[in-house]
Amino acid sequence: MNPAPTPTPSSEDPTGFADLRPSIESALASACQFNEGCPSRLGDAMRYAVLAPGKRLRPALVLMAAEACGGEMDSAMPGAVAVEMIHAYSLIHDDLPAMDDDDLRRGRPTCHIEFDEPTAILAGDALIAEAFSHLANQIEDPNRIVEAVRTLSKAAGAAHLVGGQADDLAAERDGKDEINQDVKLASKAFTSDSIAADLAFLESIHHRKTGALIAASLDLGAILGGGTNDQRDALAQYASLVGLAFQVVDDLLDFTSDAESMGKRTGKDAERGKLTYPGLLGIEGAQQRADQLIIEAKRQISVFENRQRRLSCLATYVLERSH
């Protein structure tokens, strides 16, 4: 599972982590058995969400960060599984009728369409608990369990993953009247330009909603790979920059792709008046923003020297999705 040499990006594997995916899929399937006492329909819904086809970006980040810190990727797998469970829960709940009300995700019916709404709510709830259970039961060193639970619970909590979604919904529905006042005030302190203030607010949402879990993935990898504090800090910076770039590119793709190639309804964000980067900066401005973020992300991980190739490759990939 630790192949040498580290692969370079290619047309067959633009992400540079395709070789990690079979072991990730296998670990996810094994973790999602939920045998004893789990109602079968609930377990089916949880598996439907976690084992849905996907790139496994977050689990791969856990493994790549562990590798960058000089650790074994196998020992980081419990973190990879737990973060994918949290990601899956957040997608289930974000898609609910009371939230983003989406019927399709990557071309498949969303969980509440395939099953039903109460089952989808409960499957999401159970996945949060199962993620922490997995960390506490599958990692050997108690100190690493404690650090891993701290990192994942913070990222999944009120100030980050959930708080970002709450602000995102508030911004969309209430014309930003009910958004986090602190964020609005902070934005206004830096600039009187309303585009810049909206951009700062948009980035604060994405730093939390998308970025928090990306950052937690890298930090889990660092914890489970035995990283130093300096290494954890460098990965946190990289995470923040790549996470934002990922969102900028997602917004760009929403503007430029058609429904067939994305497998979900596109242009929907714009219809609903949701804040997006191309909406604020134009397509060219958003592209430049993504470019800058990735240059800086690569600078941050130069400290890992020859062990940063996968992370560098991934940063390139995030950018190239938009070209």
Longest Cα separation, the chain: 58
Q: What are phi and psi of 253, to 5 degrees?
A: -65, -35
- Report CA-CA distances (Å) from 160 to 89, 269, 321: 15, 21, 26
DSSP alpha helices (H): ranges in 95-116? 111-114
Q: Does 295 bind a copy of itself (CB under 8 A)?
A: no
Distance spanning both ends of the chain, measured CA to CA: 32
Please identify which residue in the block is written with the tokens 């830096």: 190
Q: Does 166 bind a copy of itself (CB under 8 A)?
A: yes
Among residues 56, 87, 206, 208, which is the contact residue for a copy of itself, using CB under 8 A? 208
Shortest reach from residue 83's CB to a copy of itself, in Å = 13
**What residues contact 296, with CB distance under 8 A and at least 6 apart?**
241
Among residues 17, 48, 89, 238, which is the contact residue for a copy of itself, using CB under 8 A? 89
Q: Does 153 bind a copy of itself (CB under 8 A)?
A: yes
Structure token digits, residue 36? 């004893």
**Spatial contact of 283 and 252, defined as CB atoms under 8 Å apart:** yes
Shortest reach from residue 39's CB to a copy of itself, in Å = 4
**Spatial contact of 308 and 320, defined as CB atoms under 8 Å apart:** no
Q: Does 160 bind a copy of itself (CB under 8 A)?
A: yes
Amino acid identity at 56: R
Question: Which CB, 169 or 286, lies closer to a copy of itself?
Answer: 169
Shortest reach from residue 139's CB to a copy of itself, in Å = 9
Q: Restricting to residues 132-151, which ones interact with a copy of itself according to CB under 8 A?
A: 132-133, 135-137, 142-143, 145-146, 149-150
Q: Which residues pair with 105 in a beta bridge?
A: 108
Q: Using CB under 8 A, which of the segments 14-22, 124-132, 269-277, 281-289 binds a copy of itself? A: 124-132
Q: Using CB under 8 A, which of the segments 37-45, 192-200, 280-288, 289-297 binds a copy of itself? A: 37-45
Amino acid identity at 180: N
Residues of this chain that bind a copy of itself (CB under 8 A): 34, 36-43, 46, 89, 93, 96, 98-99, 117-119, 121-122, 124-126, 128-130, 132-133, 135-137, 142-143, 145-146, 149-150, 152-154, 156-163, 165-167, 169-170, 178-182, 208
